[in-house]
Structure 1
Amino acid sequence: MTYVASPSHSIGDAARTEDLKQCLETARKHLNETSRASDTERQQELVSSAIDAGWEEDEVRAALANEEVEPSHDGSLMPTLGVVPSSSL
């Protein structure tokens, strides 16, 4: 199981969504570096880990569905959470 931090804000608090995005981004980065599982399996792992940490399944799935999709280095599309392109820095 991948570690996902528990929510620190109550349901309905605007900061909760941003916290979830940050938690998922960190967990996804770790999974991408350490797991040889398929993208689908890693996505399922993220959802399961977040639910076990105390996040609601619907908010986790909504956060993952709202990910921006950008090309990776090999030309395929890769989901990202809150990543700012280096050209905008």
Structure 2
Amino acid sequence: MLARYARNKRLGDAVHQWAFCALTNSPGARAYYDTLRERGTGHHAALRQRGNRLVGILHGCLKTRTRYDETTAWAHRNIAAA
């Protein structure tokens, strides 16, 4: 697999930090990270995947003009856990 070299470094770093901070502040994001780690995904790869998911959630909030809601954002995680 080839790595992508063209990216906005500041934006990438901000998303990486956001994903890292979500480890302690978002139970849904933490559960998603733990699931990825259990599958054998490395720490940084799991943070990247979670960052991508957080950007998707942000996009949905902006598109529908709704506020972030933890239970709605990670509802698929709650359903899978039940």
TM, length-normalised to structure 2? 0.36
Question: More strand per residue: 1 or 2?
Answer: 1
Question: More helix per residue: 1 or 2?
Answer: 2
TM, length-normalised to structure 1? 0.34
